[in-house]
Structure 1
Amino acid sequence: MSQAPSTVMVTGASGYIAGWIIKYLLEAGHTVHGTVRNPDKASSVAHLHQLAEQSPGTLKLFKADLLDADSFDAPMQGCDILMHTASPFVLDGFTDANEALVRPAVEGTRNVLNAANRCETVKRVVLTSSVASVYGDATDKKRGAFFTEEDWNTSSSVNHNPYQYSKVAAEREAWKIHDAQSRWDLVTINPGMVYGPSLTNASNSASIGTLLDMGRGKLRTGVPDLVYGAVDVREVAQAHLLGAFTPEASGRYILVSESVSMLDIAALLRKQFGRHYPFPKMKVPKPVVWLFGPMMGPVTRKFISRNVGYPVNFDNSRSKALGVRYRSVGETLKDHFEQVLDDGLVKRRSA
């Protein structure tokens, strides 16, 4: 696939990861057709227009909705590459997980890829998936073993880890649609927990919630012994471009820089920003998490039993072979928390 200027459609253009994808595409001189729910909502898209003004590429925004099967035909016209990043991201506050998460993720993927089937110019699709599609619980793998692209999440359901289930259900739907045709090929990017600066202070990434809770002292008494794969948003975006423009790219790519615990994150932040922020210093014993965890947020005792106290390891060799170069998690967290301070989300404290 040529790296000459292309026309690339990016769904969910106002999103955290999508912003960086669009930045890199525009800087490389590509034309971007971005879909958003409301192209006239300045708070969501102003940063995208600013990126376009500063770059040689061209940006065109289109209105589209995941559950509107016909809304992706117009923005798809003339596109060589489709990057499907749009997916519902809701962790709590819903009563019906299927309606809030699973149906929009699966039907949205189906609607977007069926539109790709109707557009004869599309030759490659890059899907933003997740390591949630690779595994659901830390206990899915024997202690010490590494998750690889060969693994699939079979432990999640609409009733247990519904967000994770929505991701694996959507990716499976994508592969099903891909396998039923032969014109375009599919690459999936499967990142861990994504950290790093946002191109807008309106970011609603899950990772920023952890940083806010730590910086504001909500977790000062301790954190559960939870471990997950972390990755920088800029590496995730670059992986999408590598997946799109590397001719031999194919299949799934786990994007994880390294595995870190919540206490590791606190220690890295303390090293960078000093001890005058209330970063936690202790692990909360698992029995205490078991007792009080479900009262403090969208976490179940089933999740606690299968994840707290268990390590998770990932093999990122495929992504490295693709050309991804990882920065350290410490650098990523420093950049992300610095933005949190700059945006006034946590009060800056003098040393």
Structure 2
Amino acid sequence: MDFQVDLRDLPVDMSAPVLVTGATGYVASWIVKGLLDAGVIVHAAVRDPNNTAKVEHLLKAADGSPGTLRLFASDLMREGSYKQAMQGCQTVIHTASPFVRAVRDPQRDLVDPAVNGTRNVLRTANDVDTVERVVLTSSVAAMIGDAQDILRLPGRTVTEETWNTTSSLTREPYSFSKTLAEKEAWRVAEAQDRWRLVTVNPGLVIGPALNAEPTSESFNIARQLISGEARFGAPRIAVAVVDVREVAYAHVAAAFLPETEGRHLVVAESTDIVDLARRMLPAYGERFPLPRRAVPKFLAVAFAPATGLERGYLRRNIGFDLRGDTTKSRKMLGVRYRPAQQSMEEMLDQLAQAEALRAQH
């Protein structure tokens, strides 16, 4: 574990459990581990507590830690399914939400789970009178949809005041789902005055996973990077990245630091896929067919359908920089960001080890 959470000097009731929804997920698993290492009782809401393969890494994290892990069955789309897990909790960390891009029905597969799931969790927080704070995993996608959002910003810089205004069901539907979900969260929060809502808005999350077979879209992107699909080049599209451990730390800090409020942009640096791949060349250039050059914009647009990308998206986004002001996350949450290269190397190390194990079998 590369971050330690010290709650001893904070006004924290260590006897009160903390609910983490979507607890087996990429980010959530690190949150659970951080809480357990700090000695917290964690109510981990998962789809099936009896699915050993899915919860094994959580059980491993609990072994030898000063904290306590309790597993609860939950269903994002079933109203009230988090009520049992939330009993006695002062803090709820809601991470459960779909992170996929290739879907058949954006409304059914992205928007409904994100919005209705968030509404279900927060309505339950209204019903459970011990809850004092809810931390929501949002995204930079709720702040910007594509470069057209960036062009209208002062200094072309994303801040906590920025909202995505360009995404829709037909244009970046994942970003649309994250925007609607966060707006719904603020709507529910502002209609009551007992618990406080805080959001964490990370960029593309990178770095190692705690589970052996991570299914996050982040790992799908990393797999594409090393698969050879882009060996002849990749479009230079800006992306904001951040290590999974910093994202987890930000959630725990947002949950317990007394003065935290509002939104928090959590981004280590802005880069692009070509730049990230080039940084991997010294360690992995001989092993994996990493992209080494940027594809000219006209070629990227022309061949977009063959690569699973949308021509309009490439026209709008190739050649734009992405800047984010992370002053608030550094000052209020105390996040210290590690270099993206380190995160990517650890991520590729994990994929390489998994590939070697599969080869042995």
Range class of TM-score, shorter chain: over 0.9
1:218: which partner in 2? 229
Shift of residue 345 of structure 1?
A: 6.9
The 2-side partners of 1:27 and 1:3 are apart by: 15
The 2-side partners of 1:148 and 1:161 are apart by: 20
Shift of residue 307 of structure 1?
A: 1.2
Q: Which secondary structure does the structure 2 equivalent of 1:111 belong to? A: helix
Q: Answer yes or no: is 1:141 the counterpart of 2:139.
A: no
Q: Which secondary structure does the structure 2 equivalent of 1:160 belong to? A: coil
The 2-side partners of 1:274 and 1:305 are apart by: 29
1:18: which partner in 2? 28
Q: Which secondary structure does the structure 1 equivalent of 2:125 belong to? A: helix
Shift of residue 236 of structure 1?
A: 0.1
Q: How many pairs does the alignment contain?
A: 346
- Among 64, 68, 83, the alignment partner of 1:54 is 64
- The structure 1 segments of at least 4 consecutive aligned residues displaced by more than 4 Å after TM superposition are 345-348
Q: Answer yes or no: is 1:303 the counterpart of 2:313.
A: yes
Structure 1 residues 200-349: aligned runs within 5 Å: 200-297=211-308, 299-321=309-331, 322-344=333-355
Q: Answer yes or no: is 1:110 the counterpart of 2:116.
A: no
Q: Answer yes or no: is 1:76 the counterpart of 2:86.
A: yes
- Normalised to the residue count of structure 1, the TM-score between the two structures is 0.95
The 2-side partners of 1:334 and 1:95 are apart by: 33
The 2-side partners of 1:175 and 1:222 are apart by: 41
What whole-Å deviation, never above 9, does each CA across 1:228-279 have from its counterpart, x for those lacking one?
Answer: 1000000000000110110000000001000011111111111333444321
The 2-side partners of 1:310 and 1:81 are apart by: 39
Q: Is the 8 A contact 1:340 1:346 kept in 2?
A: no
Q: Answer yes or no: is 1:160 the counterpart of 2:199.
A: no
Gaps of 5+ in 2: 1-9
What whole-Å deviation, never above 9, does each CA across 1:116-150 have from its counterpart, x for those lacking one?
Answer: 00001010000000000000002212295211010
Q: Answer yes or no: is 1:65 the counterpart of 2:75.
A: yes
The 2-side partners of 1:345 and 1:154 are apart by: 44
Structure 1 residues 118-197: aligned runs within 5 Å: 118-142=127-151, 145-197=156-208
The 2-side partners of 1:158 and 1:345 are apart by: 40
Q: Answer yes or no: is 1:31 the counterpart of 2:36.
A: no
Identical amino acids, percent of aligned pairs: 45
- Normalised to the residue count of structure 2, the TM-score between the two structures is 0.92
The 2-side partners of 1:268 and 1:274 are apart by: 9
The 2-side partners of 1:135 and 1:166 are apart by: 12
Q: Is the 8 A contact 1:139 1:310 kept in 2?
A: no
Gaps of 5+ in 1: none
Q: Is the 8 A contact 1:259 1:313 kept in 2?
A: yes
Q: Which secondary structure does the structure 2 equivalent of 1:343 belong to? A: helix
The 2-side partners of 1:271 and 1:207 are apart by: 22
The 2-side partners of 1:86 and 1:345 are apart by: 31
- Among 103, 107, 122, the alignment partner of 1:98 is 107
Change (3 A) 1:347 1:267: farther
The 2-side partners of 1:136 and 1:347 are apart by: 37
